[in-house]
Amino acid sequence: MLIDNHNRKINYLRLAVTDRCNLRCNYCMPAEGIDFVKNDKLLTISELAQVSEVLVGQGIDKIRITGGEPFVRKDLMVLLRKLTTLEGLNDISVTTNATLIGSHIDELKELGIKNVNVSLDAINRETFERITRRNQFDTVHNNLIRLITEGFNVRINFIVLDGQNEQDIIPILELMKHYNVSVRFLEEMPFNGGSKNFASIKWNYKAILEHIAEHYPNFEKLESHPTSTSINYKIPGHKGTFGIIPSFSRTFCGTCNRLRITATGDVITCLYGKPKANIREMVRGKNSVEEVQNAILKAVGSRAKTGFDAQEEHAKTIFDNSMTSIGG
Ligand code: SAM
Ligand code: SF4
């Protein structure tokens, strides 16, 4: 089992399978993209499977596949198929922009992979295209509805962006009220590949909740799992729920159970911190499983207590990172 130096159990891996993406969300990266890493620096599918197996052996029982856009990786389903065979892995989920998932929906269902987070920051076409800088609105919308109606456990991630999409907060709740989905509103974080810098945000979790309360004063707070990053609510008459994730305010660090491995093998123990190790060459080379496990143990054993402490590791450079490299 992985226990960090602050006595937090780590059982949840967020595994980024690529840093590439077919969208250019303006809160994630600049219009021209970032310096995507060369192919030989990316873990291969079999190396990603190897890393997963090692970590499941250390007590990871939940893996979320992320990126970049996971489905730009043509052989992603090979990895997912392999993950479903790992004993002890109870929960496999995917975070996606839902542009390319359509042709994989049947197989995901067959594999029993039902937890899909869809990133969607607008229900208005123009707003969507302005934010993502691409015209994939119809595809995303169709795939989202298909996932919901085919019984997937869908959560929508909606980043609230000052001056860009706040007018869609209430309409997305209205649109989704007949569906059993959770709409989660996230605070924007400063990982946009250096395209803009900020030290505070207007749309923090309190502002988001107050805005929703103006329209739905009778919402009720729900019990959430202790390790949940979202504070969850129910609006009477709505089939699904909504949640708010204070990803910038960082109020959930005390119970954080997450570890991140990037597509290049960086081991990240906090979104806001620096990589603590890189296991790519270890996995690729002649290192034993024990040596890789020891590198993970060492990283987990020197974990910052909070995201604010982790941020100190960066001096000023933190704002050059892009979420497409870290995995979100
Ligand atoms: N491409 C996939 C997607 O968009 O769902 C997966 C990777 S994306 C980097 C993972 C998550 O990070 C998405 O939900 C995205 O909205 C979120 N994200 C990206 N940049 C962010 C930022 N600057 N602040 C907050 N969340 C961000
Ligand atoms: Fe791509 Fe996801 Fe980043 Fe948008 S948030 S640019 S979909 S990686």
Per residue in 210-256, pLDDT tens?
Answer: 999 999 999 999 998 989 999 999 999 999 999 999 999 999 899 99
State if residue 20 touches ligand 2 by the CB under 6 angstroms criterion: no
Q: H helices of 15-44, where? A: none
CATH number at residue 67: 3.20.20.70
Query: Could you tell me how far CA 201 lies from the centroid of its own chain?
Result: 20
Over 70: is that where the pLDDT of 316 sits?
Answer: no
State both tokens at 236. 């009477």
**Domain range for residue 102?**
2-326
Q: Any idea which ligand is nearest the CA of 30?
A: 2
Biggest CA-to-CA distance, the chain: 60
Q: For residue 144, give the 3-state DSSP assignment.
A: helix
- The tens digit of pLDDT for each residue in 264-295 reads 999 999 999 999 999 999 999 888 999 999 99
The pLDDT, as a whole number, for residue 327 is 86
Over 90: is that where the pLDDT of 321 sits?
Answer: no
Residues with a CB atom less than 6 Å from ligand 1: 21, 27-28, 66-67, 69, 95-97, 119, 157, 159, 186, 188-189, 191-192, 247, 323-324, 328
Nearest CA to ligand 1 atom 12: 328
State if residue 119 touches ligand 2 by the CB under 6 angstroms criterion: yes
The pLDDT, as a whole number, for residue 100 is 98
Mean pLDDT (the chain) is 95
- The tens digit of pLDDT for each residue in 77-98 reads 999 999 999 999 999 999 999 9
State both tokens at 275. 């990589």
Q: State which ligand 2 atom lies nearest to the alpha carbon of 95.
A: 2
The pLDDT, as a whole number, for residue 237 is 96
State if residue 324 touches ligand 2 by the CB under 6 angstroms criterion: yes
Mean pLDDT to the nearest integer, 298-306? 95
CA-based nearest residue to 129, from 176, 155, 165: 165
Q: State which ligand 2 atom lies nearest to the alpha carbon of 322.
A: 3
The pLDDT, as a whole number, for residue 318 is 53
The pLDDT, as a whole number, for residue 326 is 87
For residue 21, the CA-to-ligand 2 centroid distance in Å is 6
- d(CA 15, CA 209) in angstroms, rounded, equals 30
The set of residues, in sequence order, having a beta carbon less than 8 Å from that of 204 and lying 6+ positions away, is 187, 246, 248, 249
Burial, 316: exposed, middle or buried (Cβ in 10 Å; 0-12, 13-18, 19+)? exposed
Q: State which ligand 1 atom lies nearest to the alpha carbon of 117.
A: 5
Q: State which ligand 2 atom lies nearest to the alpha carbon of 28.
A: 3
Q: Which helix (H) or strand (E) holds 192?
A: none
Query: Which of 14, 19, 27, 28 for mutating ligand 2's site (highest number of atoms within 8 Å of CB)?
Result: 28
Q: Any idea which ligand is nearest the CA of 118?
A: 1
Q: Any idea which ligand is nearest the CA of 27?
A: 1
For residue 262, the CA-to-ligand 2 centroid distance in Å is 15
Number of domains in the chain: 1
- d(CA 158, CA 174) in angstroms, rounded, equals 14
Least confident of 8-22, 154-168, 240-254, 313-327: 313-327
Q: State which ligand 1 atom lies nearest to the alpha carbon of 187.
A: 25
Strand 241-245's sheet: what is its strand order?
220-221, 231-234, 241-245, 182-187, 153-160, 115-119, 91-96, 62-66, 12-16, 258-261, 266-268, 277-278
Q: H helices of the chain, where? A: 45-57, 76-83, 105-111, 125-132, 137-149, 169-175, 205-215, 280-284, 289-300, 307-311, 323-326
Q: Any idea which ligand is nearest the CA of 192?
A: 1
Orientation of helix 289-300 relative to helix 45-57, angle to 10°: 70
Mean pLDDT to the nearest integer, 316-328? 77
- d(CA 21, CA 33) in angstroms, rounded, equals 9
Burial, 279: exposed, middle or buried (Cβ in 10 Å; 0-12, 13-18, 19+)? buried
Q: Any idea which ligand is nearest the CA of 144?
A: 1
pTM above 0.85, yes or no: yes
State if residue 25 touches ligand 2 by the CB under 6 angstroms criterion: yes
- d(CA 157, CA 243) in angstroms, rounded, equals 9
Nearest CA to ligand 1 atom 10: 328
Q: H helices of 183-264, where? A: 205-215
- d(CA 107, CA 163) in angstroms, rounded, equals 39
State if residue 188 touches ligand 2 by the CB under 6 angstroms criterion: no
CA-based nearest residue to 245, from 208, 291, 196, 290: 208
The pLDDT, as a whole number, for residue 320 is 76
- The tens digit of pLDDT for each residue in 29-51 reads 999 999 999 999 999 999 999 99
